[in-house]
């Protein structure tokens, strides 16, 4: 009997070799892969169908009644509970929310090759979820996509069937935010609502707002719902440049950095209010403007303008092409000293544009000599001011000390033969004596 079990006839060996060959061939071909799903009544079931090797062949999900739910990313059955999660050539995933007992059954994923290949997954629905006071899957209402910058939006998260009342928490990305809670009794269970109010700006674009339901019956797996904001806003524009001091012969790249949603492509470049004059050297690629072999004719104001249906924004860049610096030739003559006015003129000329002769002047050296002249001028002004003040004070002093007096000689000088006689006669002729004036300095 053992010999019969282990001995193989030539026909059996051929059949086994053929089966092995078919198995290897099947593993290398296209075939859908699915998995059975179990969900509690009122929950959400995700049905996933994958293909490891697909040559751009469509995938399809069908319900137990053989009604097509999704063909690729196209919805075929009008059921608001059924939504598309992901659709590609290698995967088709759909979700069925608020699952009921009627949703239980065999679901089919079909791969439309020749011939069509199918795989079946069984959806099992567990009873009694709502009647045990477990909250239902939350839903977020109040969001219409897209929203505009500056709009006021109120997001409301609702969950029903909880006993005791569930708690709802809000998160902006990973950061928790506060919401306004409202609890309503519906029979023996509770319906809980929580709302957050937002004034949307461009920083909210792509931000995920999540409401999470916490309950004693969901200690290990809290339920949550998420909405991602799509914010439309007018563009903002700035221009970046590749060179700080562009010189003749160089190339210059200007980039128009514009941020807006929808994306404000393409952008418009102009020069001095008109179209670009030399399209052979002024090359526009996307948002970049490249000017090759710069020369003086390229001087001007370049403007970048971006717009979408919400508005227009622009930025300007003033281009001045500098001369190529050259080395000053050696000279035997001593350098000429410039006056203050010449130095100032040289500084002003260098600040606005390079010298026409191509000689490179060092503005730092000129600025270092400037303070010496200013110091000398200040000292001279102070000296002149002090001298004037001294003259005025001295004049006022002399004016106050001017006086008149009579000397003894003058009192009797007219009739006296000598000075002694004049002094003696002066005592009696004081009233008739001639007045003599002397000044003390």
Number of domains in the chain: 3
Structure tokens that stand for 95 in this block:
């979700």
Mark which of 206, 229, 252 sits at the end of a domain: 229
Alpha-carbon gap, residue 280 to 37, rounded angstroms: 64
103 and 81 within one domain: yes
Mark which of 196, 229, 262 sits at the end of a domain: 229
Predicted confidence at residue 353, as pLDDT, reads 38
CATH of the domain at 97: 2.60.40.10
Whether this prediction's pTM lies above 0.75 is answered by: no
Predicted confidence at residue 81, as pLDDT, reads 93
Integer angstrom CA distances of residue 392 from 349, 356, 389, 398: 45, 53, 5, 10
Alpha-carbon gap, residue 214 to 232, rounded angstroms: 33
120 and 76 within one domain: yes
Evaluate whether residue 251 is within a structural domain. Answer: yes
DSSP letters, 148-182, are: ETT-EEEEEEEEEEESS--EEEEEETTEEE--EEE
122 and 140 within one domain: no
Evaluate whether residue 81 is within a structural domain. Answer: yes
Q: Which domain range does residue 257 map to?
A: 234-319
242 and 219 within one domain: no
Mark which of 319, 346, 377 sits at the end of a domain: 319
Alpha-carbon gap, residue 293 to 283, rounded angstroms: 12
The structure tokens 């009604």 sit at: 67
- Per-residue pLDDT of the chain (441 residues), as tens digits, is 444 434 445 555 555 554 444 444 443 457 899 999 988 888 899 999 999 877 888 899 999 999 999 999 999 998 999 999 999 888 999 999 999 888 999 999 999 888 889 999 999 887 654 445 788 889 999 988 889 999 999 999 999 888 788 899 999 998 999 999 999 987 778 899 999 999 999 999 999 999 999 888 787 777 899 999 999 999 999 999 998 899 999 989 999 998 899 988 788 999 999 999 988 899 999 889 999 989 999 999 999 999 998 899 999 999 999 988 875 444 433 443 433 333 333 333 333 333 333 333 444 443 444 456 778 888 999 999 999 999 998 888 888 766 555 555 555 555 656 656 655 665 555 444 444 555 554
Pairing of strands 105-111, 59-62: antiparallel
Predicted confidence at residue 132, as pLDDT, reads 59
Predicted confidence at residue 92, as pLDDT, reads 93
Structure tokens that stand for 403 in this block:
């006086």
Integer angstrom CA distances of residue 28 from 2, 51, 53, 87, 108: 37, 11, 8, 23, 22
Q: What is the DSSP letter of 1?
A: -
Evaluate whether residue 182 is within a structural domain. Answer: yes
Evaluate whether residue 342 is within a structural domain. Answer: no
181 and 161 within one domain: yes
Evaluate whether residue 422 is within a structural domain. Answer: no
Burial class (CB in 10 A: 0-12, 13-18, 19+), 291: buried
Exposure on the CB side of residue 93, measured as CA atoms within 13 A: 11
Evaluate whether residue 330 is within a structural domain. Answer: no
Predicted confidence at residue 279, as pLDDT, reads 85
Evaluate whether residue 329 is within a structural domain. Answer: no
Evaluate whether residue 26 is within a structural domain. Answer: no
Contact, 256 vs 304, CB < 8 A? yes
Helix (H) or strand (E) holding 365: helix 363-400
Contact, 50 vs 111, CB < 8 A? no
Exposure on the CB side of residue 436, measured as CA atoms within 13 A: 12
Predicted confidence at residue 372, as pLDDT, reads 65
Structure tokens that stand for 182 in this block:
């409202």
Phi, psi (deg, nearest 5) at residue 60:
-145, 140
39 and 106 within one domain: yes
Alpha-carbon gap, residue 411 to 434, rounded angstroms: 7
């Amino acid at each position: 009997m053992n010999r019969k079990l282990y001995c193989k006839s030539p026909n059996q060996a051929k059949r086994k070799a053929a089966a092995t060959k078919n198995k290897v061939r099947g593993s290398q071909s296209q075939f859908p892969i699915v998995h059975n799903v179990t969900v509690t009544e009122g929950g959400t079931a995700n049905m996933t169908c994958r293909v490891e090797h697909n040559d751009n062949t469509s995938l399809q999900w069908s319900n137990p009644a053989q009604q097509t739910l999704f063909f690729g990313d196209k919805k075929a059955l009008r059921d608001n509970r059924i939504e598309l999660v992901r659709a590609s050539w290698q995967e088709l995933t759909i979700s069925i929310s608020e699952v009921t007992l009627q949703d239980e059954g065999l679901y089919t994923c079909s791969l439309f090759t020749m011939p069509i290949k199918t795989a079946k997954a069984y959806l099992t629905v567990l009873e009694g979820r709502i009647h045990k006071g477990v909250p239902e899957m939350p839903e977020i209402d109040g969001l219409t996509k897209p929203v505009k910058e500056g709009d006021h939006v109120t997001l409301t998260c609702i969950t029903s069937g909880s006993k005791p009342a569930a708690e709802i928490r809000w998160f902006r990305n990973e950061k928790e935010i506060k919401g306004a809670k409202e609890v309503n009794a519906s029979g023996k269970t509770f319906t809980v609502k929580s709302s957050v109010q937002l004034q949307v700006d461009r920083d909210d674009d792509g931000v995920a707002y999540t409401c999470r339901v916490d309950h004693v019956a969901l200690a290990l797996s809290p339920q949550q719902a998420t909405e991602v904001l799509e914010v439309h806003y007018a563009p903002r524009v700035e221009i970046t440049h590749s060179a700080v001091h562009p010189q003749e012969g160089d190339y210059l790249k200007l980039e128009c950095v514009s941020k807006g949603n929808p994306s404000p492509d393409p952008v418009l470049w102009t020069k001095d209010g008109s179209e670009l004059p030399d399209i052979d050297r002024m090359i526009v690629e996307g948002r970049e403007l490249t000017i090759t072999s710069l020369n003086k004719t390229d001087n001007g104001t370049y403007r970048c303008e971006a717009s979408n249906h919400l508005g227009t924004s622009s930025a300007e860049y003033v281009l001045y092409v500098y001369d190529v610096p050259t080395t000053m030739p050696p000279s035997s003559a001593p350098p000429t000293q410039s006056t203050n006015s010449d130095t100032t003129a040289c500084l002003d000329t260098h600040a606005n544009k390079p010298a026409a002769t191509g000689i490179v002047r060092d503005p730092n050296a000129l600025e270092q000599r400037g303070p010496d002249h200013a110091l000398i001028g200040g000292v001279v002004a102070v000296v002149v001011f002090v001298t004037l003040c001294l003259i005025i004070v001295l004049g006022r002093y002399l004016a106050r000390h001017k006086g008149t007096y009579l000397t003894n000689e003058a009192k009797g000088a007219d009739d006296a033969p000598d000075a002694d006689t004049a002094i003696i006669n002066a005592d009696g002729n004081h009233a008739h004596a001639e007045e003599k004036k002397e000044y003390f300095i």
